[in-house]
Structure 1
Amino acid sequence: MKLRIAVQMDPLESVNIAGDSSFALMLSAQARGHELFHYDVRTLSYDTSVGAGGTLTAWAAPVSVQRLAGDHFSREDYRLLDLARDIDVVLMRQDPPFDLGYITGTHLLERLAGRTLVVNDPVAVRNAPEKVFVLDYARFMPPTFIARRIEDVRRFHAAHPGDLVVKPLHGNGGKAVFRVPADGSNLGALTELFGQVWPEPFMVQPFLPSVSEGDKRIVLVDGEFAGAINRRPGEGEFRSNLAVGGFAEAASLTAREEEICAALGPDLKARGLVFVGIDVIGGQWLTEINVTSPTGIVAIDRFNGTDTGARIWDAIEARHAAMG
């Protein structure tokens, strides 16, 4: 069945086609004969005076894509689309920050429930920010502390002496992640900085030397393991994110990682979180559950000879068919 798919994402002009998971998903959908539209979340509007229960619209443009650098998409004129009547699937793929704008988008998309399939489910995305949802699985995590006051952070540091890692609660791509030396010499300054820049608390964890062995990105599709890559820090870095200079290598799962996937899988599927990327350091420490705009499928498929995009669309098509 041909589906009409609206992709809510950042501008196509800025996409890195060599590794972008959203672009790979668009290519995969197009190969199946699905019709693609692109729109910016800022064009969403909701009108209670039209239609039963209100109408959610977006200014969207039909697009076609190809893996050709410098000429990777073509776009027709933007038009006003009723996301309940004109669209079968909304693919929510814009990058964080996970701020009030992002959250409001999920509130609006939630109103499509029962009419248009939204992937990942906007209610689940809103209720499962990557560094908060993961707390449900604390048994797999390193010691973790969320706070704002320097006095509280120093208390945690005293209980876990050694280097620390401090990171924003709703950051992404390894941005603004800091390593604090064991003497805590810059801990006060960092606490002040985080308090001035972000209104929410921040996360503190002991630095894990095993990060040198890699920070594994594991992709689950509808709760099932679909593939993994190991990301290692680049020269002079402790962060392994590909966006900050890390490099990828082929990977399989450890017994501990299989246990983590088995524990998470049923919950992810039940929540409508079709495409999820989890991060595991050193083969044992779960640090994030990425549900907003997970990445990594291009590298996974390159190393493993798989087609994760097709697997994701299989799951989406099955969910859409089940809606009746």
Structure 2
Amino acid sequence: MYHPYFRGKQFELITIREMAELLAKMNFVPVIEPVRESLGGLKKTLSAVCAAGGRAIVIVNPYHGDHQEDGTNITCLLQEDFTGVGNISAGILLRNDMKVEEVMACYGQHASHNPVLVHAGFTAPKALAAALDDSIPGLTNVFVEDHAKLLYRKHFDQSTRILVRDGFKRQRNADYPEMEEFSDLHVTYGDLGMAGFGDFLMVGDAYTEGGGPAYAVAIHLTFIDPDKDDVMYIYHFVSDTKDTPTDPAGKFAQALAKLIAKLDSGTSHILETEAIEEFRVLHAKGHFPGLGYVKKLSMKHHIETLAHHFG
């Protein structure tokens, strides 16, 4: 049902490992695009997913990061360590520079890993659907909404279809509004003829190698509003200090104080998840765990919120 799309940086992989039990229990299927040269963290993560009895889709031809020229090492990892493991699928990322023949070659190469097609800019859906022909009913197609509109998706309507929407409007931390709409796809995906939905969590689809120093620190937290047809919204708790690249710990404390005040107001609609519990502990201790860790807590909270919605 839910397919969170992760770029496989350190804290993204740790999030999946720590959430492996819940992901498996809810039948949530992470899509992982490995972006780091070392695949040790990915192997550990996929092992955790398997141990929990969950499923995952691993992009074998990443568009971003260290493997964008050559995904051979990812294919080797799947073949050496996850052969015969039905719950790890090879994801084939279909971009605008790919030809049908390349897609089919990659599909054939990964046939033993239950391949999933991830549509993100590909321009020949009709020809591809014709080439796949009899395989389509057994196939899962994941569509990144910005690149695969309704007419595009119709070519694959005999398959299992998942729609991924980027609900995160990325901007400079200092410029975020206090709150905005994130997505209604978790409510509407069935009406759109989809078997499931996904998003890029509160990281967004725009890929960056690593941020520079943060002039402002923002904590991004999603919530579902039962008074508004269960639409999901996102809060941006931004530090007051925004004009200097120093003192991230002080800025985090400012943003966290705003988060705690909103929680304690009783009107936030933020679910009291395990991640929120951890934010409360950090506030009580006055501890700054680092920005990567803060992002991990936001991602965990997002997954916990959706699990509660469907639970």
TM-score between both structures, scaled by the size of structure 1: 0.31
Relative to total residues, which structure has the larger strand share, 1 or 2? Answer: 1
Q: Of the two structures, which has the highest relative contact order with CA contacts closer than 8 Å and spacing of 6 or more?
A: 1
Relative to total residues, which structure has the larger helix share, 1 or 2? Answer: 2
TM-score between both structures, scaled by the size of structure 2: 0.32
